[in-house]
Every structure is written in structure tokens, then in C-alpha cells.
Amino acid sequence: MTCDFSLAHYRELLGAAQAGGYRCAGFDRVPEGGDLILRHDVDLSLAAAIAVAEVEADAGAWSTWFLMTRSTFYNLASPEGEGAIERLRALGHRIAHHAVYPHVELDERFDPVVAWHNPDPEFMQAPIEGAVNVMEPPFFDPAHYRSDSNQRWRHGCPHAELASGAFEWLQLLIHPEIWAFDGATMRESMESMLDADRAARLEHLHADRIDMS
Ligand SMILES: [Zn+2]
Ligand SMILES: [Zn+2]
């Protein structure tokens, strides 16, 4: 098994979790032994989110998708954004809020669950009125948490530990852009994303009746 950041290895990661006896869980109750809480902060690309969500549904898994209302990179209120929410729900996933401090904009699109985007230590674990903060206890605990940030696992890829049931339970943060776009480094994955984005924007231009002849 090669621990690269590809959809193929993500499939293997999910298979490892199933082999280790884990079941999917969300942020609606206190974590229990055997829970795999799949969390996705969507920073850059709804298309990447859908690609990863389809892989999970194929594998019989589901997760919680944290979507931004203040993203520089996508518009949740656009037809693409509304379609993404619809597709994620249809695949059996949950929708939560990836918020930009201090703006908590929970509306009917979101479960009352918040993950801050690029949080500072001062507010990262602070309680949020009317919502779960995914980085506060009981959902966050260093021994029960792994993140793929910038294609760097601080403690290595967790697939072997998942397969052997080494975690009592785990909150696993997966950024879909890293896995859905090809690249051996973060830089390369981002270049792949930008190439795909150009193609998508050309389609948007056609849909907006812009004369591209
Ligand atoms: Zn691995
Ligand atoms: Zn983020």
C-alpha cells in the first residue's frame, strides 16, 4: 500500500477502518468506542468534496461536510453550491458549517456544528453558543484526532492503526482537495485543482451566454 493522497488510497483508508471494526459517527452525540468521525473542511473546491463523498458512499461510509459561507474560492449560494449540498445529502452525508471567525452563520442548510477555518489558539476550542465546536471536548482530544493538513500527517497515515483497531475512536479530518486532485506535493495538487478550475469556469462562461467564439 502506498500512502499517497489519492482517491485510491482514500478508498483503502476507508477499507482499513471497516476491517478494524469502526463505524461512521457524527457530532450529534458523545463519541463512543468504535466511532470513526469523518470530518471534511471544504476550503477550496466543491467538486473535490463531491468526488470524495462519492467514494465514501460507494464504500458504505458517510461523513460530516463543513462548508463555508465566506469562501474566497466557492459560492455556496450559487447553483453549483446548492447542487453540492443536495448531492451530499442524497449520498447520506451531513452538512455543517466551516466558519470564518467571528462569523457563525448557521441557517437551515447546516446542522448546528461548527469548525473554524484556520483558527487561532485563542478561540479554537472555545464553546460556541447554540452549536458544537468540533475542537472542544468531548469531540477533540489529541489521542483521538488525526489530520491530513497540507499533505502532512503529523503521526503518519493512520490506515494501519485503523486496520488494527488501535484507536478507541477517531476524529479524522480529511481535506477533499488534497485527495481528489493528483499531485505528489501540496503544490502539485493545487496546480491540478487550478487546471480543473479553468475548465469549470469556461463552462460557467458558456452557461452565462458569454460569447467565447
Ligand atoms: Zn496509508
Ligand atoms: Zn478551513
pLDDT, tens digit (0-9, with 9 covering 90-100), for 35-71: 999 999 999 999 999 999 999 999 999 999 999 999 9
Distance 125 CA to ligand 1 centre (A): 28
Cα separations (Å) of 148 from 85, 86, 143, 184, 208?
23, 26, 15, 14, 36
Q: What is the pLDDT of residues 88-132, one digit of tens each?
A: 999 999 999 999 999 999 999 999 999 999 999 999 999 999 999
Distance 46 CA to ligand 2 centre (A): 13
Asked if 180 and 48 touch (Cβ cutoff 8 Å), the reply is yes
Average pLDDT of the segment spanning 72-92: 97
Question: pTM score, two decimals?
Answer: 0.97
Distance 161 CA to ligand 1 centre (A): 9
Which ligand minimizes its atom distance to the CA of 119? 2
C-alpha dihedral sign at 192, 193, 196, 197:
negative
Which ligand minimizes its atom distance to the CA of 160? 1
Confidence check: pLDDT of 1 > 90: no
